[in-house]
Structure 1
Amino acid sequence: MKIPKFTDLILFEDDNLIVVNKPPFISTLDDRGESEGEINMLRLAKSYHGDAQICHRLDKETSGALIIAKNPETYRFVSMQFEHRKVKKIYHAVIEGTHVFNDLLVDLPILNAGKGNVTISRQEGKHAETYFQSLKFFKHYTLVECRPVTGRMHQIRIHLATQRASIAGDAMYRGKPVFLSTLKRKYNLGKDQEEQPIMKRFALHAFELTFNITPETDITIHAPYPKDFDTLLKLLEKWDM
């Protein structure tokens, strides 16, 4: 995989923090089980600014807006906003099926079962809330806006799965990859070629963040879709309307 240039990822920067558009397939921090020296967002950030600290996490496959502090004071200031649910987070996801979500609130507790697994548990789970709003309808898929109030592991993914609306390509929650052959009639694959999915990950992108950069000033940052997410939407618009 080509290592991105950190400066190409920057969406916003001031004296105290940076917001980047995290590419897919790069971990936010050092993950257990990864080979030593494998690139991650923290290492990329520290190569740009030695005191860089990452204020929140995105799953390895998830792309989008990520806040990085340049000093300990800013790290604490932004982290406290996440802890007190003051950061407004908007994600976009492509889900299976046609679903009319009109500010649907999913309020189901999530239990972290360890080793990257989570489950819904009304007895042992931690409080978790996500709002969902349908943005665009295709024949077999829907583009949805997801607004998590809390920040549990895999929260958006498992909350969508409970609505029988798994994210496309999210095998952990029964989401299937999207193949062009299922959308386009008379699709011909070359001899001895194996068809690849349009996206080689689940279709989830951290689209927007609103937070305070000083106690008096807030800011909203938009993260443009990466190429794979953009391509999926363009192909759905062309072949699945």
Structure 2
Amino acid sequence: MKFPKFKDIILFEDEDIIIVNKPPFLSSLDEREGKEISLLKMAKQYVEDAQVCHRLDKETSGLLVVAKNPEAYRHMSILFERRRVNKIYHAIVDGTHVFEDLLVDLPILNVGKGNVVISRGEGKRAETWFRSLEYFKHYTLLECRPVTGRMHQIRIHLATQRASITGDKMYGGQPAFLSKIKRGYKLTDEEEQPVMKRFALHARQLSFVKPNGEEITIEAEYPKDFAVLLKLLRKNDV
């Protein structure tokens, strides 16, 4: 896949950190094979000592913090560890759901090979708050505020509420097809492609104290595929 240049995805930069709007399908860190381009590789070409401070799933788009030096990396690691980074994600989910600051507090166990399960006995504490932002006939736009940072946390927590993220096959989400959204849409003989070729999750906002002591709140625009799906829903699925 062709990705934009690193400097073109930078939303904020100072002497310590860079905040980027990660495009979908780009790995945060190097994968085991090591051949694919990753955000870390791109960052290191831009700043030699760059370190990615947290990670997003490959398909998830949005805000990611990169440290430019070891001191900044240490500072950011402590903030994430102590849950002093406020994170807001937006997700489009299957079905209409009214969540008014719903807290899902279900422990998550990492069972390896990129799989997690809910396990009250062995899982690690995991908490996410959910709030409905916009309702459609077949979908809902949600705000997701994870307190902890477990792998696949938002995705599996939503699945437990029967509100799987659209396109998230791993957790029961269905792909969004134009034929489902648009009334009278005529199918051709070709196999219909989903509007988004990934699950609809975007890291929308981050707030934290920078290494220099200043507070920052930053927001990332939706990538094209997320914005297109939302536009189609607003026009046709009401």
Q: Specify the TM-score bucket, using the shorter chain as the normaliser.
A: over 0.9
Q: Give the alignment partner of residue 219 of structure 1, picking from 211, 216, 219.
A: 216
TM normalised by structure 2 equals 0.98
* Corresponding residue pairs, total: 238
Q: What letter corresponds to residue 9 of structure 1 in structure 2? A: I
TM normalised by structure 1 equals 0.97
Separation (CA, whole Å) in 2 of partners of 1:145 and 1:211 = 18
Separation (CA, whole Å) in 1 of partners of 2:184 and 2:163 = 28
Moved over 6 A (4+): none
Q: Does 1:108 align with 2:106?
A: yes
> Could you tell me how far 1:57 is from its partner in structure 2?
0.4
Separation (CA, whole Å) in 2 of partners of 1:138 and 1:157 = 20
> Could you tell me how far 1:185 is from its partner in structure 2?
2.0
Q: Deviations over 1:158-194 (max 9, x none)?
A: 0000000000000000000000011112212334x22
Unaligned runs of 5+ in 2: none
**Aligned positions of 1:161-172 closer than 5 A:** 161-172=159-170
SS at match of 1:214: coil
> Could you tell me how far 1:30 is from its partner in structure 2?
1.3
Separation (CA, whole Å) in 1 of partners of 2:183 and 2:145 = 35
Q: Give the alignment partner of residue 53 of structure 1, picking from 51, 54, 57.
A: 51
Unaligned runs of 5+ in 1: none
Contact residue 96 and residue 137 of structure 2 kept, 8 A: yes
Separation (CA, whole Å) in 2 of partners of 1:110 and 1:52 = 30
Separation (CA, whole Å) in 2 of partners of 1:30 and 1:48 = 16
2:171 is matched with which residue? 173
Separation (CA, whole Å) in 2 of partners of 1:125 and 1:210 = 27
Q: Give the alignment partner of residue 201 of structure 1, picking from 195, 198, 207.
A: 198
Contact residue 126 and residue 153 of structure 2 kept, 8 A: yes
Q: Does 1:82 align with 2:77?
A: no
Separation (CA, whole Å) in 1 of partners of 2:233 and 2:168 = 18
2:232 is matched with which residue? 235
Q: Does 1:120 align with 2:118?
A: yes
1:23 is matched with which residue? 23
1:3 is matched with which residue? 3
2:128 is matched with which residue? 130
Moved more, 229-238 or 181-190: 181-190
Separation (CA, whole Å) in 2 of partners of 1:115 and 1:162 = 21
Root mean square deviation, CA, Å: 0.9
Q: Deviations over 1:124-148 (max 9, x none)?
A: 0000000000000000100000000
